Structure 1
Amino acid sequence: MTTAPDHLDHLDLSAPVDRDRRPPLWAPFARHTELDLKDFWRSPIQLAFIVAMPVMFYVIFGFAFREAAGAQVVAGEHTLTQGNRSFAGVLAFGLLSVVFANVAISLAVKRHHGLFKRFRTTPVSPLSVMGGYLANIFVSLMLVVGVLTLIGVTFLGVSLPAERIPALLLIVVLGFLCIAPLGVAFSLVPPNADSAVPLVNAVFFPVAFLSGAFMAMPFPGAIQAVVDLLPGTPLVQLLTGSVASTGPVWDVPALLLLAAWGVVGVIASVLWFSWASESEPRGFSRGRGSEDA
């Protein structure tokens, strides 16, 4: 007569089996976040464009003007060193690169190749799909912020006021929340994957440079009025206040303008976002799957 192994003695074989057991609600979100992170780190092009480009610009401009890093400059109501002023600008450039340009390009490419359409044919919630993607973008942003901060503090004379560091981190988060919807909305503009990079960069670089990410440039009145309304301008102003030694930490008009751009992005994304593309290959089209778009 055989007996059960000792390690099975504690099992209650009479207990009912839960056949309706389901994974927790957060599991699909966590899984998509993991997949997006792996896809990001395995793509040399994304790493070069998202992480290396802001660092490259900061190293070039930072070391070129390193001798003037300790000079005091005035930016609006704020007084700060040139090193801190350049640091605030490059943070704005990095945020726009990661959260606007990267989002717009990668979503346009994913839509063109039918990746989102395939996800919509699965039981996974759209919130899990998009939430996992945006979580990866946020992680990438914090990585870029960390690298830029390390370079600035170690080599380029950046000295962050300790009492304003929480405000700096909060402004980075607010920038993510307000700029990401603009990236999602603008991803609808490129008609295909091939046109995504030139079209997005044609908007990203002028917005970043005109907003004063690297240097303040005076413009005639009418042009300056337009520049002041660009989403990069309030972002630069808020980041400048968070690293300045004097002046208000929070610029309320800049905060309201940045929030207004975020609302515009959310409305445009909700109204016109599509999971499919007109030029989607392999038989996928808006007409065949319009009910999922």
Structure 2
Amino acid sequence: MVTTDTTPTTRPLPSTLSLSLARTRLEVREFFREKEALIFTFFFPIVFLGIFSAVFGDGDFGNGVNAATYFTPGMIASGIFLSSFQSLAMSIALERDMGLLKRLRGTPMPPQAYFAGKIGLVLVTSIAQIVLLLGISGLLLGVDLPTEPARWLDFGWIFVLGTASGSVLGIAFSVVPKSGKAASAVVTPVVLLLQFISGVYFVYSSLPEWMRGVASVFPLKWLAQGMRSVFLPAGFEVNEPAGSWQLGTGAIVLTVWLVVGLIVAQRVFRWTRQDAG
């Protein structure tokens, strides 16, 4: 007598890593389908670099540095902050308002995969944006890119700390907007204010002392200053208010904001709207 086993077989659930990669691919596809995100996050620094280069031309910013060379590091820092803090704060607030986060929380997908997908989005868009910025700067605007390995090592840790701190702060700040529609009105002014006082749109040393003092509390100032240390000529640090790049101080400030952002995000993050109970 022949018997057949009709016991249903259960497939193992996908690993957190595979789910994280899948979420990253989904996040990237959705990001590049959104025209608003492309214009105001991805292409925004690139457009402004072109505008500043055209307006200031070959004006000397000190040590023979022209407008394109001076503003390139600031636009890189701005792009990282837009892709991390602004993008995550706005997109998560919108997804919470639409009920998407609540539905995702009810699936077997681990929360880590959701956040890994967001961070993966930040890394992909930031790297793509930087490559495009550097390509335009070097090929079209005549900016001399650094060739010393030490400078690119500095670029690496500044990029990692900048994207990490911006990402966790964006996740934490996503609870501030009361609705998805209000996210842009709440987040964008904060980002613009920090860009204006952090040496992204102006020569940092020309800003009032009190404004520089306020900017030094926040991460974007140190991200922009760190990028200037990578892309501006040797000796240019004498034009900084402190007379040096203060890379050690910048690393400490960015690390502190990373830790603070992680703690705050863990405590305040919500999967549902505040009025949902």
TM-score, normalised to structure 1's length? Answer: 0.81
> Which letter maps to 1:234?
W
Which residue does 2:212 correspond to in 1? 224
Is the 8 Å Cα contact of residues 53 and 67 (structure 2) preserved in structure 1? no
Which residue does 1:236 correspond to in 2? 224
| Superposed displacement of residue 232, structure 1 | 1.1
Alignment partner for residue 27 of structure 1, among 14, 18, 22?
18
Unaligned runs of 5+ in 2: 236-243
Are 2:37 and 1:46 aligned?
Answer: yes
Is the 8 Å Cα contact of residues 197 and 207 (structure 2) preserved in structure 1? no
Distance 1:49 1:219, change over 3 A: closer
> Which letter maps to 2:9?
R
Q: Which moved more, 1:171-180 or 1:220-229?
A: 220-229
Unaligned runs of 5+ in 1: 1-13, 280-284, 288-293
Is the 8 Å Cα contact of residues 168 and 243 (structure 1) preserved in structure 2? no
Are 2:265 and 1:269 aligned?
Answer: yes
Q: Number of matched residues?
A: 260
Give matches, 1:1-293, under 5 Å: 19-25=9-15, 26-68=17-59, 71=60, 73=62, 82-163=67-148, 164-217=151-204, 218-246=206-234, 251-279=247-275, 285=276, 287=277
Q: Deviations over 1:221-244 (max 9, x none)?
A: 444321221221111111111113
Is the 8 Å Cα contact of residues 88 and 118 (structure 2) preserved in structure 1? no
| Superposed displacement of residue 55, structure 1 | 1.5
CA distance, structure 1, for counterparts of residue 66 and residue 52 of structure 2: 15
Which structure's residues are more often helix, by fraction? 2
Q: Deviations over 1:63-119 (max 9, x none)?
A: 222323xx4626xxxx96553321111111111111111111111101111111110
> Which letter maps to 1:270?
Q
1:229 is paired with a residue of what secondary structure?
coil
| Superposed displacement of residue 41, structure 1 | 2.0
Is the 8 Å Cα contact of residues 37 and 136 (structure 1) preserved in structure 2? yes
CA distance, structure 1, for counterparts of residue 198 and residue 164 of structure 2: 19
Q: Deviations over 1:138-165 (max 9, x none)?
A: 1011111111111111122211121123
1:152 is paired with a residue of what secondary structure?
helix
Which residue does 1:4 correspond to in 2? none
CA distance, structure 1, for counterparts of residue 61 and residue 187 of structure 2: 35
Distance 1:80 1:19, change over 3 A: farther
CA distance, structure 1, for counterparts of residue 208 and residue 37 of structure 2: 37
CA distance, structure 2, for counterparts of residue 112 and residue 62 of structure 1: 40
2:128 is paired with a residue of what secondary structure?
helix
TM-score, normalised to structure 2's length? Answer: 0.86
Larger Rg: 1
Alignment identity in percent? 28
| Superposed displacement of residue 249, structure 1 | 7.5
Distance 1:243 1:20, change over 3 A: same
CA RMSD of aligned residues (A): 2.3
> Which letter maps to 1:230?
F
CA distance, structure 2, for counterparts of residue 49 and residue 189 of structure 1: 20
| Superposed displacement of residue 216, structure 1 | 2.0
Which residue does 2:239 correspond to in 1? none
CA distance, structure 1, for counterparts of residue 256 and residue 31 of structure 2: 30
1:39 is paired with a residue of what secondary structure?
helix
| Superposed displacement of residue 174, structure 1 | 2.0
Distance 1:50 1:220, change over 3 A: closer
| Superposed displacement of residue 196, structure 1 | 0.6
